[in-house]
Structure 1
Amino acid sequence: MGLITGILGLPLAPLRGTIAIGEQVLHQAEEAFYDPAVIKRQLESVERMHEEGALSDAEAEWWEETLLERLIEGTERDRT
């Protein structure tokens, strides 16, 4: 980066920093969202709530399908 480019780009530095922070927050959120241990705990919670009668069969099935899809997607993301 040249001197002129550096000087002219200086006003954009806060924006670049904000974007970098946003990317890090997104990365951390995705890591937590696709974490197999978290998904397993959520599946266990769905099963427990279904057994207690807090979730109907249809609701429990929907949650299980959603969580399993997330687990599969997270596994595929890890491969790339």
Structure 2
Amino acid sequence: MGLLSEVLMLPAAPVRGTVWVLRQVVAEAERQYHDPAVVQRELARLVAAYERGEIDDAEFDRREDELLARLEDGARTR
């Protein structure tokens, strides 16, 4: 039965391969999204932009809250 099912599923191989690749891409994107080093670099860029006057207090607070939430989510999922 194993050989027969493999032969019958052969036309679906490109789809299965594409699904596998997409799952790998999503997993890597999630890993990078929650990576503490990445979030800390983004926080440093945010602080630098604030100090240069490129963003106001409200924008800084909003983006800082988002980054800190990402950091907490990453810590919770580990």
TM-score range, shorter chain: over 0.9
In the alignment, which residue of structure 2 is the partner of 1:23?
23
Q: What TM-score, normalized by structure 1, do the two folds share?
A: 0.90
- So what's the TM-score if we normalise by structure 2? 0.93
Unaligned segments of structure 1, at least 5 residues: none
The answer for the alignment partner of 1:10 in structure 2 is 10
- The one-letter code sitting in structure 1 at the alignment partner of 2:22 is G
Q: Which amino acid aligns with 1:24?
A: Q
Q: Deviations over 1:30-61 (max 9, x none)?
A: 11111100100111111111111101000000
Tell me how far apart the structure 1 counterparts of residues 61 and 73 of structure 2 sit (CA, whole Å). 18
Partner of 2:59: 59
Query: Aligned partners of 2:57, 2:2: CA distance in 1, in Å?
Result: 64
Corresponding residue number in structure 1 for 2:76: 76
RMSD: 1.1
Number of residue pairs matched?
78
